[in-house]
């Protein structure tokens, strides 16, 4: 069974596995590291980037659940 | 039991008369509170053609529907009036703890007309309003005056005060109204209007309860939001890496939806200073009076003194506006930086840091602290003041001003010592400072054609410190908003985090797209800018903080909060109609006052493509984009005048003059 995860990531990432509603489908048991890999992020990038799962910092080995939200810091604007 | 108080307080400063006016439910249903209530009231109260600094102008202090209900992020209030800076609709927004006090006074807004013979202040206590003599407070700076007024009412329960400093007293057209020790509702010259009325301050110590329809839902929504904010953290090392983030942003040819909660985490950690260095690198920050960009004239590798780590180094205390879990504000110890002149200042906001930093090629971080405190105490808008200094430096460097004109000041780019002296002269209205204290437009008019060419304005107002070549929607909104040049209007980047398309049926959905598309004048881009603008009006009617837009309505959604506060059962689409109505009424106000909306278009310098740098070759197709924006608002695409059909649809025919 697959799971669906909401993904926010920088525009330089590979979006081919993200649908128009911003979701990615993954096999059950997939980890955060696997999701980031699908976004085209190298191992080094995966360790450097600020990544949250459901609003909190999470280790790369985190097993994702259906309905989770993964957010990768894209930038900042304003003030 | 509707979140709003159903009343406004009217004060006639000429006669000393005061009265409470009931406001019908339909006014709130049509215009919400805050800015909408202000637009409704001012359209009724200010006679056409009123002198902005005369007794006929009306100055309003308004709070939003959600303010005081316990809803998170709603501690904002607005000052509204006819602007002496632009001659049209004027508004300025501020946080802190004053907004709730308006509602606790038993009203949603306090409106002043007339002019007192002697300096006065308004005190509203549990027994009602009274005007009191302010002679002892006149001449004090804003921080001193607020402290003295609060001390005078120390026996009252939780008094809050908003005051003008010496800039407002001296009718500087770039003066604002301050509260909480120097936080400022800065724009549109609202401080000069207050000064023109001989009104030094407003002290509120009411004990009314703000009762929402469904407090349980508001509590639950707010608790969930606060928990999200509390969880959101970013590592401290990121503060040193913001230039790298900026480079990555600048290099990306695409745009995509973002999670605003990460932006909230950065704001929570560093405040708005997080954009100081980052924006300089990615092309967001205007440089050298909009003539340049980072790395050309302002070496971004040496700009650490402006960065978030440096700007936060002196912070001794963080603070929050009421009902805000983010807490982007801070108090900094500046005894060393000011040579003992001041002890503390508010952490300089991004706008101040750039207006007195890159815009002037000044990379002396210490001077930013000092200027920040000077302006806060005077009650002067740091955006307009920085723009006026940049304008003067450019004229000096090009030989149109000399040492005789400047009173001996060596007004060269980056000369922070004389920049401080010039700010002091502006506050005191001495010599060239008197010329600049009324903003760039007035100064340019007095100096002649060559100066007018260099007056970088939107209408009569100095634009906020974000470059529209980086964000074309911002260029549209700088130019098309009835209060032109305001930076808190949104833009393409804010749209990526707002996620409005998930809640509003007609707001265009954003997916990963080429950045180039943002620059193409078409219906989709126009619908985005209209949606952004309507949502901003809705937010200001609710009393929400601008950063709710950055955080996104997927995290902070005004719809359940407004429905819970009022008992209404409306959708986002229906609230967006209220936003469109409010903005259309602001536009009608300008048209009534003889403002040609096309005259508010941003200065051509802000749209001239650079030959290199992070926004190389970028410019905004302004004419076409604004025309399409107006068309989708239901306004004439050529003139910006709302069509009869639109006025009938929005129920605004009675406001057409």
Q: What is the pLDDT of residues B406-460, one digit of tens each?
A: 999 999 999 999 999 999 999 999 999 999 999 999 999 999 998 999 999 999 9
Which residues in chain A are closer than 8 Å to B251, comparing Cβ atoms?
Answer: 12
User: Is B256's CB within 8 Å of A15's CB?
Assistant: yes
For residue A70 the two structure tokens come to: 């993964």
Q: What is the mean pLDDT of residues B110-114?
A: 99
Interface test with A, best of B227, B230, B259, B497 (most A CBs within 10 A): B259
Contact A75 B274 (CB under 8 A): no
Is residue B99 within 8 A of residue B322, CB to CB? The reply is: yes
* B231/A50 CB distance under 8 A: no
Confidence class of residue B478 from pLDDT cuts 50, 70 and 90? very high
Could you read off the pLDDT of B637-648 as tens digits, one per residue?
999 999 999 999
Using CA atoms, how far apart are residues B417 and B391, in angstroms rounded to an integer? Answer: 17
DSSP-derived pairing of the beta strands B120-125 and B199-204: parallel
CB-CB under 8 Å, B512 with A79: no
- pLDDT band at residue A77 under the 50/70/90 scheme: confident
Nearest CA in chain A to B511: A20
- Kindly report the nearest CA distance between residue B68 and chain A, in angstroms: 24
Please, are residues B264 and B226 in contact by the beta-carbon 8 Å criterion?
A: no
Nearest to B378 by CA among B215, B556, B169: B169
CA distances to B3, B94, B160, B384 from B125, in Å: 20, 22, 11, 35
Chain B: nearest CA to A3, how far in angstroms?
20
With bands split at pLDDT 50, 70 and 90, how would you rate the model's confidence at B314? Answer: very high
Q: Is the pTM of this model over 0.90?
A: yes
pLDDT of residue B633: 98
Residues of chain B contacting residue A12, judged by C-beta atoms under 8 Å apart: 248, 251-252, 254
What percent of chain A is modeled with pLDDT above 90? 82
Of B245, B284, B512, the CB nearest to A15: B512
pLDDT tens string B205-236? 999 999 999 999 999 999 999 999 999 999 99
For residue B349, what pLDDT is reported? 97
CB B456, CB B387: distance < 8 Å = yes
DSSP class of B18: E
Binned at pLDDT 50, 70 and 90, residue A54 comes out as: very high
B175-190 mean pLDDT:
98
Q: Does B512 touch chain A (CB under 8 A)?
A: yes
> Considering just the CA atoms, what is the radius of gyration of chain B in Å?
23
Which pLDDT band holds residue B257 (cuts at 50, 70, 90)? very high
Joined tokens for residue B549: 């837009």
Chain-centroid distance of CA B546 in Å reads 9
The closest of B259, B487, B603 to A74, measured between CA atoms, is: B259
Please indicate whether, in this complex, the C-beta atoms of B262 and A9 are within 8 angstroms of each other.
no
Distance (Å, rounded) from C-alpha B58 to C-alpha B40?
12
- Chain A residues closer than 8 Å to B261 by CB: 52, 55, 71
In chain B, residues with a C-beta closer than 8 Å to the C-beta of A78 are 263, 272, 275, 350, 466, 487, 493-494, 546-547, 550
Structure tokens, B302: 């040496």
Mean pLDDT for chain B overall: 97
d(CA B230, CA B265): 9
Percent of chain B residues topping a pLDDT of 70: 100
> Cβ distance B42 to B586 under 8 Å?
no
- Using pLDDT thresholds of 50, 70 and 90, give the confidence band for residue A14: very high
List Cβ neighbours of B56 (8 Å cut-off, separation of 6 or more). B46, B47, B50, B113
Looking at residues B322-332, what average pLDDT do you find?
97
Among chain B residues, the shortest Cα distance to A77 is held by: B275
Question: Using the beta-carbon criterion (under 8 Å), do B272 and A79 form an inter-chain contact?
Answer: yes
Closest chain B residue to A74 measured between Cα atoms? B258
The mean per-residue pLDDT over the stretch B385-412 comes to 98
Query: Over pLDDT 90: what percentage of chain B?
Result: 97
Q: Across the interface, do B252 and A11 touch by the CB < 8 Å criterion? A: yes
pLDDT for residue B362 is more than 90: yes
| Cβ contact A11–B512 (<8 Å) | yes
Q: Give the pLDDT band (50/70/90) at residue B301.
A: confident
Query: Residues 152..191 of B with a Cβ closer than 8 Å to A: which?
Result: none
- Both tokens assigned to B89: 């609709």
Of A22, A55, A78, the CB nearest to B232: A55
Q: What six digits make up the tokens of B191?
A: 């401080």
pLDDT at A1: 86
B chain contacts of residue A39, beta-carbon cutoff 8 Å: none
Q: What HEC string does B289-334 produce?
A: CCCECECCCECHHHCHHHCHHHHHHCEEEEECCCCCCCCCEEEEEC
Q: How far apart are the first and last CA of chain A?
A: 44
Q: CA angle at residue B283 from B487 to B455, to 5 degrees?
A: 55
Split at pLDDT 50, 70, 90, the class of B347 is very high
The percent of chain B in helix, strand and coil, each rounded to the nearest 5, is: 45, 15, 40
d(CA B189, CA B608): 28
Confidence of residue B346 (pLDDT cuts 50, 70, 90): very high
**With bands split at pLDDT 50, 70 and 90, how would you rate the model's confidence at B580?**
very high
Among B233, B246, B351, the residue with its CB nearest the CB of A79 is B351
Contact B258 A75 (CB under 8 A): yes
Partners of B183 in beta bridges: B179
Q: What is the pLDDT of residue A70?
A: 98
Residue B579 has pLDDT above 80, yes or no: yes
**Which residues 441-500 of B have a C-beta within 8 angstroms of A?**
466, 471, 487, 491, 493-494, 496
Verify whether the Cβ–Cβ distance A50 to B234 is below 8 Å: yes
Model confidence at B132: pLDDT above 90: yes
Residue B302 has pLDDT above 90, yes or no: no
Distance from CA of A72 to the nearest CA of B (A): 8
Question: Cβ of B262 and A69 within 8 Å?
Answer: no
pLDDT at B1 over 90: no
- A contact set with B (CB within 8 A): 8-12, 15, 18, 20, 22, 50, 52, 55-57, 69, 71, 73-79
A53–chain B nearest CA distance, Å? 10
Give B657's pLDDT tier (boundaries 50, 70, 90): confident
Phi/psi at B463 (nearest 5 deg)?
-75, 155
For B168-214, the DSSP string reads HHTT-TTB-EEETTTEEE-GGGHHHHHHHTTEEEEEE--------S-
Token pair, residue B251, equals 């290099």
Q: Tell me, what's the pLDDT at A75?
A: 85
């Amino acid at each position: 069974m697959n799971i669906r995860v909401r993904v926010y990531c920088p525009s330089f990432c590979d979006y081919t596995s993200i649908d128009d509603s911003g979701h990615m489908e993954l096999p059950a048991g997939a980890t955060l590291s696997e999701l980031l890999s699908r976004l085209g992020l190298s191992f080094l990038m995966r360790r450097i980037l600020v990544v949250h799962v459901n609003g909190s910092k999470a280790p790369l080995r985190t097993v994702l659940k259906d309905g989770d939200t993964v957010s990768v810091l894209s930038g900042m604007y304003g003030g | 039991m509707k979140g709003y108080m159903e009343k406004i307080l009217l004060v006639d400063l000429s006669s000393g008369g005061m009265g409470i006016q009931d406001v019908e439910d339909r006014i709130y249903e049509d215009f919400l509170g805050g800015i909408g209530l202000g637009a409704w009231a001012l359209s009724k109260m200010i006679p056409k053609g009123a002198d902005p600094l005369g007794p006929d102008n009306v100055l309003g202090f308004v709070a939003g529907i959600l303010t005081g209900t316990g809803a998170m992020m709603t501690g904002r209030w607005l000052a509204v009036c006819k602007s002496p800076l632009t001659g049209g609709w004027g508004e300025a927004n501020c946080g802190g703890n004053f907004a709730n006090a308006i509602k606790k006074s038993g009203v949603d807004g306090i409106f002043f007309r007339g002019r007192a013979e002697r300096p006065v202040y308004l005190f509203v206590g549990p027994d009602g309003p009274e005007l009191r003599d302010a002679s002892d407070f006149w001449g004090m700076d804003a921080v001193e005056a607020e402290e003295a007024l609060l001390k005078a009412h120390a026996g009252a329960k939780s008094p809050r005060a908003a005051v003008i400093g010496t800039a407002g007293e001296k009718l500087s057209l770039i003066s604002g109204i301050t509260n909480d020790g120097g936080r400022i509702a800065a724009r549109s010259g609202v401080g000069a209007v207050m000064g023109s009325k001989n009104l030094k301050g407003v002290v509120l110590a009411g004990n009314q309860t703000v009762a929402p329809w469904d407090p349980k839902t508001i509590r639950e929504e707010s608790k969930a939001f606060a928990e999200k904010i509390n969880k959101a953290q970013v590592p401290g090392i990121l503060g040193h890496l913001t230039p790298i983030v900026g480079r990555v942003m600048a290099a990306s040819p695409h745009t995509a939806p973002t999670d605003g909660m990460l932006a909230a985490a950065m704001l929570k950690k560093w405040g708005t200073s997080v954009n100081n260095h980052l924006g300089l690198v990615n092309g967001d920050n205007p440089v050298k009076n909009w003539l340049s960009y980072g790395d050309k004239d302002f070496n971004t590798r040496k700009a650490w003194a402006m960065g978030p780590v440096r700007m936060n180094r002196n912070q001794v205390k963080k603070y929050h506006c009421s009902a805000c879990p983010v807490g982007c504000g801070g108090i900094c110890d500046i005894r060393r930086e000011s040579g003992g002149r001041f002890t503390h200042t508010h952490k300089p906001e991004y706008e101040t840091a750039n207006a007195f930093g890159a815009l002037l090629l000044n990379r002396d971080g210490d001077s930013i602290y000092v200027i920040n405190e000077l302006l806060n105490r005077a009650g002067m808008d740091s955006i307009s003041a920085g723009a006026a200094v940049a304008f003067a430096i450019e004229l000096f460097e090009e030989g149109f001003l000399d040492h005789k004109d400047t009173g001996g000041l060596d007004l060269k780019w980056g000369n922070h010592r004389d920049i401080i002296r010039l700010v002091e002269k502006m506050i005191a209205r001495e010599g060239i400072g008197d010329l600049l204290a009324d903003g760039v437009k007035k100064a340019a008019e007095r100096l002649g054609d060559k100066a007018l060419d260099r007056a970088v304005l939107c209408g009569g107002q100095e634009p906020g410190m974000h470059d529209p070549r980086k964000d074309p929607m911002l260029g549209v909104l700088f130019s098309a908003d009835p209060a032109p040049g305001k930076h808190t209007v949104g833009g393409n980047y804010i749209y990526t985090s707002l996620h409005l398309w998930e809640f509003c049926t007609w707001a265009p959905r954003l997916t990963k797209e080429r950045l180039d598309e943002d620059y193409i004048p078409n219906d989709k881009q126009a619908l985005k800018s209209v949606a952004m603008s309507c949502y901003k009006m809705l937010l200001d009617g609710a009393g929400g903080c601008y950063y709710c837009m950055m955080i996104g309505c997927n995290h902070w959604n005004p719809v359940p909060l407004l429905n819970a506060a009022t008992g209404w059962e409306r959708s986002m689409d229906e609230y967006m109609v209220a936003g469109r109505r409010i903005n259309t009424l602001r536009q009608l106000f300008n048209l009534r006052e003889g403002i040609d909306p096309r005259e508010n278009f941003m200065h051509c310098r802000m749209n001239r493509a650079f030959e290199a740098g992070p926004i190389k070759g970028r410019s905004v197709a302004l004419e076409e984009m604004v025309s399409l924006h107006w068309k989708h608002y239901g306004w004439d695409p050529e003139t910006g005048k709302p069509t009869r059909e639109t006025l009938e649809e929005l129920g605004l025919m009675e406001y057409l003059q």
